[in-house]
Chains A and B, each alone.
Chain A
């Protein structure tokens, strides 16, 4: 197996709550990996740890050929080829739809950024990703004025603009209308076609079956099961964990 991202006994406790409790997973390059489990089982926390939203209390991460990583700073995430969306949609609310995309495309170096205005290539890339999610017409609207579904799509467009190797999507389908679900699942499949790696948190088992090549099931911060979706979803413990909710 050609893994691109690994965690080794990674731990995160919040005042006694073992949100992620010695979890080891291995994500395969170029595949869509599902991350499922009941509410509060630690799925989002795992993504947060892997994107440096807060430090982990123990364990290691290996990504993109670098192993033994004990500390991840969020601003180094793109250098590891990772980008993400957030379960609780985090846009730059009082900025336009276009600016929400441009801001992740432009110069990172602070001095160059001061003397740069967005260039044609930035604009073209922004147009490409906004058209992909059907938001180009809304480019001059403030993000805060979009509908919930449009906001989720804008977040996905922002991730696409990063041209990353690894995409983390935290419940991208939640609260979307059927035609939007179709659009997003199309985007995720397309990423795989282009050899990108996707990690997907999702509650709809139909979508998990349709999209995922492999699934990890979490419960109480631990790994409950892993394997191909068909097999895992028939696993007694997994069914029990979900029914017990």
Chain B
């Protein structure tokens, strides 16, 4: 049972990551491969604040969002100079830079050793130390982020994002300075990833740089591509699918250490097959 709760918490975290990235990739058509960087900045902010200062979890979430959004703002200005493939590559480059900062900025991040002993959240004397209580907390956060994403998509702003995806030059002629829109959604999406990072750090209570490398960005991309770009329910489906997949592999009889490696192979395979036969994913409205 505890194991299902564990999976449920991971599910909530990946729904948050997927929702934010879908706003960017699915709705706006910006193929960003740097989501794990913002996820990591959120995680490290919470980890550092909880282990080295008197900050509580919830204020660390807020501060993490703040730090991540400022970083995303600066990065977004640079990225706005690129288009299409170049955008993807440049964003990937940023993920590499942030990863090496986690690895090498030892005073702050303890480098490859990582940061242990991150505490669980407390609220009005209640500690979310049991996994079931943490699950409830994570689901609440995921629900909130999901709701905010829906709110954005259904707004006039969200409709402009789709138009940017469809034909940026054309929508400009109708009076939209699209740079601002792209920057805004990049920053919002990064802020959401930061929340997932905070939740992850405080749940696992230990983080090191390896959780925030490019492969993680690609994993999050896979979630939204499998579920279907520009579809919010697709995020739920994609997250569920990719989290249950390793369990399914174990179930059909792979030993767990092989299952872990098989997982990556199967993810890769699924991506290739989807691109070949169903580029819209299961529920998607739009293919890359």
Residue numbers of A with Cβ under 8 A of B are: 51-53, 74-79, 83-84, 86, 90-95, 99, 102-104, 106-108, 110, 113-118, 158, 162
Contact = CB atoms under 8 A, between A and B. Distances in A.
B167 A162 contact: no
Size band of the B side of the interface?
Answer: 20 to 34
Nearest to A112: B156
B155 interface: yes
A52 B173 contact: yes
A93 B166 contact: yes
B159 A74 contact: no
Contacts of B156: 102-103, 106-107, 113-114, 116-118
The prevalent SS among residues of B at the interface is helix
Given A75-B178, A107-B156, A118-B156, A94 B173 contact: no
Given A86-B170, A90-B170, A113-B157, A75 B163 contact: no
A45 B176 CA distance: 21
Contacts of B53: none
Interface in B141-183: 152, 154-157, 159-160, 162-163, 165-167, 169-178, 180-181
Contact of B286 (A77, A86, A94): A94
A94 B155 contact: no
Contacts of B166: 91-95
Contacts of B154: 117
Contacts of B122: none
B157 A104 contact: no
Nearest to A104: B174
Contacts of B155: 113-117
Nearest to B287: A94
A163 B184 CA distance: 28
6 tightest Cβ-Cβ pairs between the two chains A and B: A106-B156, A92-B166, A78-B175, A113-B157, A74-B172, A90-B170
